[in-house]
Amino acid sequence: MLSRDLSYNGVMSRKAEIMKKAIGIDYSLFESGTIAFDYEKMMRETGYSLEEMQEIQWSVNVGNTPILELKNLTALARKIAPAGKGARIFIKDEAANPSGSFKVRRAANAVYHAKKLGYKGVIAATSGNYGAAVAQQAAVQGLKCIIVQECYDSKGIGQPEIIEKARKCEALGAEVLQLTVGPELFYTFLRLLEDTGYFNASLYTPFGIAGVETLGYEIAMQFREKYGKDPDAVVCTNAGGGNLTGTARGLLKAGSSSKIIGASVNLKGLHMASDEQFNKKSFTTGHTGFGMPFTTWPDRSDVPRSAARPLRYMDRYVTINQGEVFYITEALASLEGHEKGPAGNTALAAAFSIAQEMDQDQMIVVQETEYTGAGKHIQPQLSFARENGIDIFFGDPQDEIPGKNIILPAHPSMIKAVDIDLDKVRLSHIKNALATYNIKASEVSESDIKFLAKETKTNDDFVKEILSNL
């Protein structure tokens, strides 16, 4: 038997082969040979209907989480909003799930499918809540679990939030491999998949994204039952895009016309793969360092084609600053009695601002919360920031410079969601498509134009105009 080439380039050259064995999906079946691929056909590859996914999740106590109205935060928003403005603010309390976040919806379907196919274990590359979700579901299904986590800088210093998540993964029975920031994460991940023969419980497979559809569907059903109508707006924290994509698809399957708003923490200027800047960011997810690149080109993930494609569903995309998220986290605890982690509170900070633009008879819902624990609390996060030379003070959060300071709003009226120009994001997405497939703007086919129109939630004319300008 020939020995395998275990060099970085050798392992990377086998990526497609390794992934096919580890997921059980032949992605070539959906390809057209150019930019376009059959997204909906790929999503049907899960083989599960929405009703079947609900049954899978309910059987392991996942889902059916409550909707909570935040009456005190709503009252505060109305106090500072123009007359007659200030929509009712709600949260979907996903922290009530077994692993403490919505990501267990993704994990439930992926791990169930892995067991059904006869895999002995599952592997996920994640520094976040998804690792805990996969570990929890692997424990339920009796499968082995390995979580690969980008945790430290080159000095061996790790963020308290990431270390907290590793602790939770280990507590749930997973083996956790902690790495330093850099390209070794994906190399190690591929090596493990090849060596173990375990299932790749990726965040970005059709199973993972389809699992979140139940969340969007539940929101529509619960609001109709309790309030007689759909929420006017649903705000989703956006990082890799699966949260927004799955929720939006579930809402659409329920026939909802709720406006879909993405929200990310503004970390402009910080590079996510930079060893020096790794610990300068005080948010490990839900930020523009993931949100922008994955929105402008989803297929940079660990699978050939990502099922998380947020630009297909966004009606609006906003950023919020770090200080504003810390402030709203404290406000949620002190005004509403709910301690939640920073991921869902990113969307909550945005919703608090957007509610002030909306009429008082309207409803805005943040579609997820997450558990909080030792490393996720405000105090360790801010203490860690100070240790890394970040200045922290009260003032106008719009003056915040990521990596240099965190500015807590001096007054709640200073919390302001800032709109991202979606047409610029769409332009970047189209440019990335051309660059990835080495196609000139003049060579793009009609079928590719139609695909790009769906990818950017526009129309053929919009794409043609972009192409003509390029």
Structure token digits, residue 29: 């079946």
Structure token digits, residue 211: 């699992």
| DSSP secondary structure string for all residues of 132-191 | HHHHHHHHHHT-EEEEEEEEE-TTS-B-HHHHHHHHHHHHTT-EEEEEESSTHHHHHHHH
Question: Residues 233, 286, 388, CA angle at the centre, nearest 5°?
Answer: 145
Residues 265 and 322: beta-carbon distance below 8 Å: yes
Based on its alpha-carbon atoms, the radius of gyration of the chain, rounded to whole angstroms, reads 21
Backbone angles phi, psi at 443, to 5 degrees: -100, 0
Q: Which pLDDT score, from 0 to 100, does residue 66 have? A: 98
- For 234-246, write each residue's pLDDT tens digit: 999 999 999 999 9
Structure token digits, residue 254: 């329920």
- Using 50, 70 and 90 to split pLDDT, how confident is the model at 78? very high
Residues in the chain: 470
> How far is it, in rounded angstroms, from Cα 404 to Cα 324?
16
Contacts for 168 with CB less than 8 Å, ≥ 6 apart:
99, 100, 131, 132, 135, 373
Q: Which pLDDT score, from 0 to 100, does residue 2 have? A: 57
- The percent of residues in the chain predicted with pLDDT above 90, rounded, is 78
- For 266-276, write each residue's pLDDT tens digit: 999 887 777 78
Contacts for 232 with CB less than 8 Å, ≥ 6 apart:
87, 258, 259, 358, 362, 363, 364
- For 213-267, write each residue's pLDDT tens digit: 999 999 999 999 999 999 999 999 999 999 999 999 999 999 999 999 999 999 9
Q: What is the largest CA-CA distance in the chain?
A: 77
- Using 50, 70 and 90 to split pLDDT, how confident is the model at 126? confident
Structure pTM?
Answer: 0.95
Q: Which pLDDT score, from 0 to 100, does residue 202 have? A: 87
Q: Which pLDDT score, from 0 to 100, does residue 319 have? A: 98
What is the mean pLDDT of the segment spanning 133-138? 97
Backbone angles phi, psi at 402, to 5 degrees: -55, 135
Q: Which pLDDT score, from 0 to 100, does residue 162 have? A: 86
- The percent of residues in the chain predicted with pLDDT above 70, rounded, is 99
- Using 50, 70 and 90 to split pLDDT, how confident is the model at 420? very high
What is the mean pLDDT of the segment spanning 358-373? 96
What is the mean pLDDT of the segment spanning 414-418? 98
> How far is it, in rounded angstroms, from Cα 46 to Cα 252?
18
- For 273-306, write each residue's pLDDT tens digit: 777 888 888 888 899 999 999 999 999 888 889 9
> How far is it, in rounded angstroms, from Cα 331 to Cα 326?
9
> How far is it, in rounded angstroms, from Cα 388 to Cα 380?
12
pLDDT at residue 1 is higher than 50: no
